[in-house]
Structure 1
Amino acid sequence: MELLVETAYREEVENLTSWCQHNNLHLNVSKTKELIVDYRKQQGEGHAPIAINGTTVERVSSFRFLGVHITDDLTWTLHTTTITKKAPQLFFLRRLRRFKMDSRILCNFYRCTIESILTGCITAWYGSCTDLNRKALQRVVKTAENITRTELPSMEDLYSQRLRKKSLRIIKDPHHPSHKLFCLLPSGRHYRSILTKTNRVRDSFIPQAIRLLNT
């Protein structure tokens, strides 16, 4: 079974390479990375490296995709640490306050320059964050509250709002790949829960969204 899965994976890479060639697209192998997520207790001899057009693809333990730092163990400490380090934007928020800017301007600046960074793709990763990660994120929000002297939505509230909004958008779109995973029970009031055996799956987007909608 393992051999079949790896063979299919390599075939997909070959198909992608062929598609790029036939459509006059240049595939930059030097910027292409391979990341393997493998939770098996016994991983055997490991996977042979992938080669594209005779060039071996670099294998990495983490990479940045659309602003999100993804690691091979699918934990989010690296991502949360990285985005909280961008909190120096708080320096400019303090400067605006010293210039006696209106609180509305301070809040708009916070939402545009800080909150937008903290919540980028939040529905994909926040549910699997550790308590330590969440506390680090919330400290940034708390500091911004002290500067703006305005109550700001917590990270938990922002996550819930966006989780609900995204899941409802999927439910309304029958062509979305995840649409069929939101299945109503015969009562028509609640969605069928997805059976999960690990916390990793339980804390992922679909199970979290279904629990939120059912409550």
Structure 2
Amino acid sequence: MCVLSPFLFTTYKADFQYHSETCHLQKYSDDTVIVGCVENGQEDEYRDLVESFVSWSRENLLQLNVTKTKFLGVQLDNKLEWSTNTDAVYKKAMSRLYFLRRLRSFSVCSRMLHMFYQSVMASTIFFAAVCWGAGIKAKDANRLNKLIKKAGSVVGCRLANLDEVVRDRMVLKRRTIMENPSHPLHNTVDKLRSSFSSRLLQPRCSKERYRKSFLPSTIRLYNSS
């Protein structure tokens, strides 16, 4: 039953659909996200879609948890500051650091400790780092880097810090986007190609929040390489 639960829930909510040039639904497993492009304060369509979904949920006996701000394991807030997400990541990683230390107490070799770190601890710390890595606050980045350093002392070798992992993953993701015409961001990036060089044009960033997001950050990395 546990295996079927996401499929059954997806089937149950499949009849609520919507798509336009500015608003659409993104569904993945048992998660549903309403996405809207709001320009010049014109958010009527987006708000109407939200209200329609609330009404549909009520009619179909589904209770919306308005306090939940997590999407596919990533904690979100209304300012995209990522501190809440960092707190959650830190707590998970700390519990895994405990098990890493326990393994060392059993005289497990460094190679196996490194494998455990990569598969259990690093996968937690760097989950969706492409999304939040460039926009994270310095104090939050320092917390995670200190945790990585502690893990390195247990494993017995230097481990890549947050900046290094985020940079490498951004480069890889940008390359995937540029080489895959079916990727949702392919056309967006392709339009930024310069006519005079191999560089990409930097998108205009009126907000610091956007400047630190994935696309402007990965373009800066690309142009500096």
If the TM-score is normalised by the length of the shorter chain, which range does it land in? 0.7 to 0.9
C-alpha distance in structure 2 between counterparts of 1:198 and 1:204, whole Å:
10
* Percent identity between the two aligned chains: 29
From 7, 13, 37, the counterpart of 2:50: 13
Helix, strand or coil at the partner of 2:134: helix
Deviation at 1:181, TM superposition (A): 2.5
Secondary structure of 1:194's aligned partner:
coil
Flag the 1:156–1:15 CA change in 2: closer, same or farther, 3 A. same
Per the alignment, residue 74 of structure 1 pairs with 80
Report the Cα offset of residue 6 of structure 1.
3.6
Aligned length: 184
- The equivalent of 1:158 in structure 2 is 165
CA deviations over 1:63-111 (Å, ceiling 9, x no partner): 1111110011211111101111121211111111111111111011111
**Residue 14 of structure 1, CA deviation:** 5.9
Residue 149 of structure 1 is matched in structure 2 by: 156
Tell whether the 8 Å contact from 1:138 to 1:155 is kept in structure 2 after alignment.
Answer: yes
Aligned to 1:55: none
**CA–CA distance in structure 2, aligned partners of residues 121 and 19 of structure 1:** 31
Shift of 1:193: 0.9
Give the counterpart letter for 1:128 in structure 2. Answer: G
- Distance in 2, matches of 1:210 and 1:3, equals 26
Cα distance, 1:10 vs structure 2:
3.3
> What is the alpha-carbon root mean square deviation over aligned residues?
2.7
Instruction: Say whether residues 1:172 and 2:209 are aligned partners.
Output: no
Question: TM (normalized to structure 1)?
Answer: 0.76
2:198 to 181, 189, 207: 189
3-state DSSP class of the match of 1:123?
Answer: helix
Distance 1:27 1:102, change over 3 A: farther
The answer to whether the aligner puts 1:85 opposite 2:85 as a matched pair is no
Looking at structure 2, the residues matched to 18 and 213 of structure 1 have their Cα atoms a distance apart, in angstroms, of 45
Query: Residues 191 and 10 (structure 1 numbering): CA distance in 2 closer, same or farther, change over 3 Å?
Result: same
Match status 1:112 vs 2:145? no
Aligned partners of 2:130 and 2:184: how far apart in 1?
Answer: 16
Counterpart Cα distance in 1 of 2:39 and 2:89 = 36
After TM superposition, the score normalised by the length of structure 2 is: 0.73
- C-alpha deviation, 1:2, in angstroms: 9.0
Q: SS of 1:193's equivalent? A: coil
The change in CA–CA distance for 1:27 and 1:192 in structure 2 (over 3 A counts) is farther
Q: Aligned to 2:141, which of 97, 115, 134?
A: 134
Alignment of 1:12-91 (within 5 A): 12-13=49-50, 28=62, 30-33=63-66, 60=67, 63-86=69-92, 87-91=94-98
The one of 207, 211, 214 equivalent to 1:205 is 214
